[in-house]
Structures are given as C-alpha cells and as structure tokens.
Amino acid sequence: MNKKTGFLIAIIMFLLSVNIFAQEIKSIKLPLPDTRGGKPLMQALKERKSSREFSNKLLSPQVISDLLWAAAGVNRVESKGRTAPSAMNVQEIDIYVATHSGLYLYDPFKNSLELIVAEDIREVTGTQSFVKEAPINLIFVADFLRTEELEGNKESIAACDTGFISQNVYLYCASSGLSTVVRGWFDKKELSRAMKLKPGQKIILTQTVGYPK
C-alpha cells in the first residue's frame, strides 16, 4: 500500500466512524410505556372529542412513549402485534412526530424516535395556527412499498388503517387529559418535501396533540 492509498483509507475510516457516531445520537430511546392507569375505556369514550386550543407546554418522554404505544405500539412481542389493526397485518402506516427540536420517526419495535430532519417543521404540518404552538404534530404516512401483497384499493386500506391509529390517539388523549384533533387539511406537497419522504410514501392524515390551553 502506498502513502496516498493509506491516507485515503484513513480518511474513509474517519468518515465512517463519524457517521456511526452521528447515527447513535440521532436515536432517542423512549421510556417503557406505562400500560397501567388512565381513565376507564367507557369514560374515555365519553370524553373523546376534537380540540383546537393547545398550550405550548412540552410532553414528557413518558407521555410521548405512552401516546405512541397507544397509537400503534407493540402489544404482542412474539407475533409483533400492534395496538392498531392493519389489513393483512402489513403495518404500512408509519408515525412521524414533528416537535420543536425536529422531525422523528417512531420505531415501535425499538421503542425509539429516529431523527429524520433536525428542524422544527410543525408549521408546515397544517394550515391552522395552533399547529405551530402545540408540542407535537403526528403525521401518519403510508409506505406503499410494504403493501404489495394487498389486493383492492390500497389507498382506502391505508385510510382505514390510519383511522384506527388516530382513534387510539383520541382515546389515549381523552384518558390522559390531553387535547387532540386529527387533520386532513394540510399542503401535502410542501409537507412531503419538508419530511424528505421517499417515493412510495404518502401522507394520509396528521394529528395535533398537546395539553389544553
């Protein structure tokens, strides 16, 4: 190996180590979801509603973990079962979380948040003014590369699968004293660009979550 090749290899090794380090700090491990407590189901159903006034108070990591687990977390580890059903269990809906510190992708199997964009994109998640005040906007994204085995209208199926997740969020919020509203009113193109979505990924709905004002 000549001097030049050795130098190049050293640079490549350095860049690789920087990248690996960067990947490590880009993943936030969430606390284990607390599956006890909350209001009983019938009471949560009684209190479920859409709210459009949010405090800017942040949600704790525990509340974020509980919220995402309720939305579509893993509730049967052996079979990789989730709290929300999906057609043929394809689990094609991903939950992105837009916060003041960046856009994250919820990984239900690692119970972690993976940083996607290190910018506050909350404002782009909707056209209503509360979206930039609330601490969290969830974005439900279908990955149609995962739905090849499905027959029928894949868009309708993705809409149904998203509906279950959204209702889980509504019920968790009602049960925990949080405010929420599901939203279909947003600029799909602008939001997809801000989220750096790949071909095959399509935003179905968004949902704002926070404490009442």
Which residues contact ligand FMN by CB under 6 A? 49-50, 52, 128, 181-185, 205
CB nearer ligand FMN, residue 2 or residue 129: 129
Element (H, E) at 38: none
Dihedral Cα 163, 165, 169, 171, nearest 10 deg: 70
Least CB distance to ligand FMN at residue 163 (A):
7
* Closer by beta carbon to ligand FMN, 34 or else 190: 190
Closest to ligand FMN by CB, 113 vs 139, is: 139
Q: Is 177 left (phi over 0), alpha (psi -120 to 50) or beta?
A: left
Type of residue at 42? M
Q: Which residue has the tokens 């979801």?
A: 33
The alpha helices in the chain, defined as continuous H runs, are 3-25, 41-47, 61-72, 154-176, 188-195
Task: Say which amino acid occupies 77.
Answer: V
Least separation, in Å, of the C-beta of 155 and ligand FMN? 13
Residue with smaller CB distance to ligand FMN, 52 or 213: 52
Distance CA 47, CA 154 (A): 32
Residue 27 or 128: the one with the smaller Cβ distance to ligand FMN is 128
- In the bound complex, which residue of the shown chain has the CB atom lying closest to ligand FMN? 185
Minimum CB–partner distance for residue 113 and ligand FMN (Å): 24
User: Residue 22: what residue type?
Assistant: A
Region at 120 (left for phi over 0; alpha for psi -120 to 50; beta for the rest)? beta
Residue 124 CB, nearest distance to ligand FMN (Å)? 14
Give the nearest distance from C-beta 49 to ligand FMN in angstroms. 4
What is the smallest separation between the CB atom of 44 and ligand FMN, expressed in angstroms?
14
Q: How many CB atoms within 10 Å of residue 13? A: 10
Which is closer to ligand FMN, CB of 53 or CB of 119?
53
Cα–chain center distance at 176: 19
